[in-house]
């Protein structure tokens, strides 16, 4: 059913509320809403936010595991010209404090599970005027929503207004707020749907965390197309299978989830077989695992996607026909081809000129999906978005003669562990604060479950001893668990080039030798 191009996110919900009012729209835990019901709920929430003083240019924030209320806040706040910041709920206290202050959030919605942690840092949260607990015995969200009068039906919010703020760490070691506008989010949805359309009876399983583009932007894409979405609180096995049992037949997951299902045995494999399409990404998929998945679910479509937060999600896709085509075996290791409306260049990062066809360089992208920039970080924005709107990805890759993009390595210092981005400088900054650490390098090493995990290589000071256990405990006190090293080597010195730069490729080489990819 064709829908008009939206101006803002809520426009599309309004369209489905008019055309299929009684069809199911969203479901989470024990709650479900039709399109008409959900649209009315979003308008009332927008009214409550407006009554609380939220308006154009403001930011609210939501801290929790997956919760339908988080997406509701995104739609309602963005209808007022405000943005919803969704930080990773796993952040350590000092990281969470930094992000919420950076976002300048005025109202903070927090899941009951995290209310005590937020209470502990509340005095340091700067602009936060109100904290609303969501769920649990002392839920305040329903009362907050009910307090509002339904907001206006039509909005004069500009399509280039920031609607969603997702945080991505950077090479400085501090997170950066990636601003995603209504235009970015609609362009992403339209691009993906143009090559991967849904059937009318398709139902999306939203299991990826909403602080990730694979959660929020994936859900927005489904809702943009009028598809029912079933949300899981976590991406664990019971939640996934409950979502499938509820009727979800389309899923986006990270490769470790697929590995876990295959390892769980026949009942789990059979249950997962109800999915008609499995989209995977956010981390490399080892080819042996992909082959095993294709064999286990011969009737399921497989789609690999590659994307970035700065591009509102997916920018390339390896489509189902390639997965099942033995003549294209060599392209199974690729990230697929760019979506419609996505332009790519392969650039020599030293000269900023295009390399010869087929050669490796930094991947540059251009699209309506491109973020307008990082919140309050004009220097970082100018560094990332250059030359007439081209976005530097920080990924090294090549494009073959068929237009397939191969991501070969990373120019940026980043590790992807189980779909989570871990930036080495962030971990190094914490380790070097330990009094026994004189020098440190953090690298990613291969892991069969998570794709890669964090490893630190440390040089100790001459006058202070420390062992691996002490250093690991230090990182756990200051970093989210997924960012902490799983191992630490203590060495006499780190390899460096003549200019003093640490040779991380030399450190990584022994661990990645013989692998299809070096990331």
102 neighbors 125 (Cβ within 8 angstroms) = no
165 neighbors 179 (Cβ within 8 angstroms) = yes
Distance CA 254, CA 420 (A): 10
115 neighbors 195 (Cβ within 8 angstroms) = no
Q: Where are the beta strands (DSSP E) in 56-112?
A: 59-63, 83-85, 107-111
Distance CA 127, CA 120 (A): 16
Distance CA 427, CA 211 (A): 20
Cβ–Cβ contacts within 10 Å for residue 474, how many?
Answer: 20
List domains and CATH numbers for the chain.
9-304 (3.40.50.12780), 422-512 (3.30.300.30)
Phi, psi of 425 (to 5 degrees): -60, -30
**CA distance to 424, 464, 471, 472, 484, per residue, from 440 (Å):** 10, 15, 11, 13, 14
What pTM was computed for the model? 0.86
**CA distance to 162, 181, 218, per residue, from 178 (Å):** 9, 10, 16
Distance CA 51, CA 45 (A): 10
DSSP H helices in 171-227: 182-195, 213-224
Phi, psi of 7 (to 5 degrees): -90, -45
**CA distance to 341, 365, 367, 395, 403, per residue, from 353 (Å):** 22, 14, 19, 16, 19
Q: What pLDDT tens digit does each residue of the chain (519 aa) get?
A: 556 666 799 999 999 999 999 999 999 988 999 999 999 999 999 999 999 999 999 999 999 999 999 999 999 999 999 999 999 999 989 999 999 999 999 999 999 999 999 999 999 998 999 999 999 999 999 999 999 998 766 678 999 999 999 998 644 568 899 999 999 999 999 999 999 999 999 999 999 999 999 999 999 999 999 999 999 999 888 899 999 999 999 999 988 889 889 989 999 999 999 999 999 987 777 778 899 999 999 999 999 999 999 999 999 999 999 999 999 988 988 999 999 999 999 999 889 999 999 998 999 999 999 999 999 999 999 999 998 999 999 998 999 999 999 988 777 677 888 888 787 878 988 998 899 998 899 999 998 888 899 999 999 988 889 999 999 999 999 999 999 999 999 999 999 765 557 888 889 889 988 775 555
Q: Is the dihedral of CA 163, 167, 170, 174 positive or negative?
A: positive
Q: Where are the beta strands (DSSP E) in 79-138?
A: 83-85, 107-111, 130-134
494 neighbors 459 (Cβ within 8 angstroms) = yes
Distance CA 133, CA 76 (A): 17
Q: Is the dihedral of CA 178, 179, 183, 185 positive or negative?
A: positive
């Amino acid at each position: 059913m064709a829908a008009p191009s939206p101006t803002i996110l809520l426009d599309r919900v309004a369209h489905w509320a008019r055309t299929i009012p009684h069809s199911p729209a969203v479901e989470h835990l024990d709650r479900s809403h039709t399109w008409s019901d959900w649209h009315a709920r979003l308008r009332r929430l927008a009214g409550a936010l407006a009554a609380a003083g939220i308006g154009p240019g403001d930011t609210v924030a939501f801290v929790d595991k997956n919760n339908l209320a988080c997406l509701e806040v995104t739609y309602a706040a963005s209808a007022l010209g405000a943005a919803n910041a969704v930080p990773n709920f796993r952040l350590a206290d000092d990281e969470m404090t930094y992000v919420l202050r950076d976002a300048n959030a005025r109202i903070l919605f927090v899941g009951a599970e995290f209310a005590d942690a937020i209470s502990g840092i509340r005095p340091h949260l700067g602009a936060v005027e109100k904290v609303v607990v969501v769920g649990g015995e002392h839920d305040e969200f329903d009362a907050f929503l009910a307090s509002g009068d339904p907001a206006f039906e039509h909005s004069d919010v500009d399509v280039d207004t920031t609607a969603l703020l997702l945080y991505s760490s950077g090479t400085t070691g501090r997170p950066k707020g990636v601003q995603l506008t209504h235009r970015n989010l609609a362009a992403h949805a339209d691009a993906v749907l143009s090559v991967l359309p849904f059937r009318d009876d398709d139902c999306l399983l939203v299991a990826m965390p909403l602080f990730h583009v694979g959660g929020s932007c994936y859900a927005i894409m489904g809702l943009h197309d009028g598809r029912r979405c079933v949300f899981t609180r976590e991406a664990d096995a019971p939640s996934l299978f409950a979502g499938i049992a509820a009727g979800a037949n389309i899923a986006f997951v990270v490769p470790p989830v697929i590995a876990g299902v295959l390892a769980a045995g026949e009942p789990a494999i059979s249950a997962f077989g109800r999915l008609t399409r499995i989209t995977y990404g956010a981390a490399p998929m080892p080819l042996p695992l992909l082959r095993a998945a294709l064999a286990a679910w011969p009737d399921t479509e497989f789609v690999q996607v590659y994307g970035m937060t700065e591009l509102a999600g997916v920018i390339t896709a390896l489509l189902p026909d390639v997965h099942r085509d033995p003549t294209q075996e060599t392209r199974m290791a690729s990230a697929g081809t760019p979506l419609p409306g996505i332009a790519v260049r392969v650039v020599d990062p030293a000269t900023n000129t295009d390399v010869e066809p087929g050669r490796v360089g930094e991947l540059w992208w251009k699209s309506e999906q491109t973020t307008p920039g990082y919140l309050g970080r004009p220097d970082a924005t100018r560094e990332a978005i250059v030359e007439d709107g081209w976005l530097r990805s920080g990924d090294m890759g090549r494009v073959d003669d068929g237009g397939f993009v191969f991501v070969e390595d990373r120019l940026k210092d980043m590790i992807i562990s189980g779909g989570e981005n871990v930036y080495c400088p962030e971990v190094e900054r914490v380790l070097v604060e330990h009094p026994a650490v004189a020098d440190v390098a953090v690298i990613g090493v291969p892991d069969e479950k998570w794709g890669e995990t964090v490893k630190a290589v440390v040089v100790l000071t001459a006058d202070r001893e420390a062992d691996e256990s002490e250093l690991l405990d230090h990182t756990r006190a200051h970093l989210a668990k997924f960012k902490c090293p799983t191992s630490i080597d203590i060495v006499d010195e780190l390899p460096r080039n003549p200019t003093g730069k640490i040779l991380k490729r030399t450190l990584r080489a022994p661990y990645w030798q013989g692998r299809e990819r070096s990331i």
